[in-house]
Amino acid sequence: MAAKKKKKTAKATTKKPAAKPAAKKVDRLAVKLLATLPALDDRRRKAYRAAFTDAQCEAWGTQTKAEHVLADAERGVGAVAAKVRAGGVTGYSATRLAWLCHLMVDLEDAVAAQKAADGSEARAQRNAAVAVADRARKRLAAGLYSMAGGDAELRKQVADRNEASSTPHVLESSLTGLVQLALRWRRTEHGEVLGDDAGVTDQFLSSVSAVVDSLREANEHTYGEGVDRDSAETNRIEGRVLRELSFLRKTLATAKELGDAVPAFPALKSLATVENRRNGNGDAPAEETVSSPS
């Protein structure tokens, strides 16, 4: 007898969707340009850095925001990079442009580090303020329950205001309501005696109000994940970027007067801010002239 052949059945296969590739970090303009520009040796780095003092750079950096300077620098450099690389600007070399691009990369790193530091520090301060405020809430609520004794209506008034939450604005609202309730009870016939016994004193209530203020301030500092000021170190870097942009702009203007066909340098708001205002050193930035190191 012939053996029965088993009918082959195709197994249904379910293909798993291909995983999406991780988002690739997009390099900023300065990083891309550096791959096409001459490398900087120590001699040139020192020469370019010596063109402006740290004090001059910081004086300009304090007048602007680092993120705005970075955006303006990209516009300015982007407009002239091709001409500079081709050696078509008298008095401005490709290596000087490389120096400016290095500074832009440093500024980008400083902005990122500042955001991370400011955000984490602000959140840590907010969390500490929440912990202090929550302890004050528990202590105040316990004191008010003690003052209420066996009066169910008074105890309900405490419970209605005593919302346990780590959300800053909710905690602030709970504390404010409890403080107002305590102040009102202390003005009743036996309230002052009962309040003093329970630790709900005027002094304690004043300290709780101060805790509420601290909580509000700490929470506000987390808005936008950081403070709205650049650090001194960031100011020095952004000021040096601005000084180099100013030097580039003036060099282009001079080259044009000498007959070079140079691209138009865009109007940069950050640069106009510092060039049109006398800085803390008392100099008039628009009048400065700086020779280009060879």
Res. 236: pLDDT tops 70: yes
How do residues 13-27 score in pLDDT, each as one tens digit? 445 445 444 444 446
CB 48 within 8 A of CB 293: yes
Spatial separation of the C-alpha atoms in residues 95 and 42, rounded to whole Å? 12
76 neighbors 29 (Cβ within 8 angstroms):
no
Q: Does the pLDDT at position 52 exceed 70?
A: yes
DSSP structural state of residue 278: -
Helix ranges (H only) for the chain are 29-34, 42-49, 54-61, 66-85, 94-148, 152-161, 168-186, 191-198, 202-220, 232-257, 269-275
Query: What would the two tokens of residue 144 be?
Result: 């008010």
* Pairwise CA distance, residues 33 & 103, whole Å: 12
Query: Which pair of structure tokens corresponds to residue 40?
Result: 């900087």
- pLDDT one-digit tens code per residue, 65-92: 999 999 999 999 999 999 999 988 999 9
Q: Distance between CA 77 and CA 79 in Å, rounded? A: 5
Query: Among 119-123, 160-164, 258-262, 286-290, which stretch is predicted with the lowest mean pLDDT?
Result: 286-290
149: left (phi over 0), alpha (psi -120 to 50) or beta: left
Whole-model pTM: value is 0.56
